[in-house]
Structure 1
Amino acid sequence: MECLSEANTQFSLNLFKNISEGNASKNVFYSPISISFALAMVLLGAKENTAAQIFKVISHLHGSLQWKEVSVFHTKEKKVQ
């Protein structure tokens, strides 16, 4: 679960950096956890090549991320709802 947490943190920081570029004088507001949940839900609903591509992008954030960790994360997220 730590790998997923680290990957999510890195994703959030990279996303903020990309969103805020060119907007130095403006406020930026976004919800990294909502974006991560949305990506996880899309991944869990995807099949075959689409699922493989989405997982490749998500796991690229942290090289040792495993499908099991994504599945555990989704299960825990469902309990929170």
Structure 2
Amino acid sequence: MKVIHLQNLDKKDIPLHYRNEFSGEAILSAMGKEVEKKIEFVIERMPTGQKEITVKILEGLDYPIAPVIKNLKEHIDQLDRDGKLP
């Protein structure tokens, strides 16, 4: 399952400067069909300088979840590096 894009992203206002929480919708594609699923994700910067991304898909998915989470994390990481997150 391929990540087409993320839309309606909203950054939650939290007091921790090293942790950013977002909610939005992921547009995913598999076998010629596109599906839209609500997601939440967190980008947390560790004291070592590394970045940890956690993703939750809030709706059921008729596809193995592990590869979808991996693809979402890679897509989110690229958006963060490009400065395209709110």
> Normalization by structure 2: what TM-score?
0.33
Larger % of strand: which?
2
Which protein has the larger Cα radius of gyration, Structure 1 or Structure 2? 1
> Normalization by structure 1: what TM-score?
0.34
Larger % of helix: which?
1
Q: Which has the higher contact order (CA 8 A, sep 6+)?
A: 1
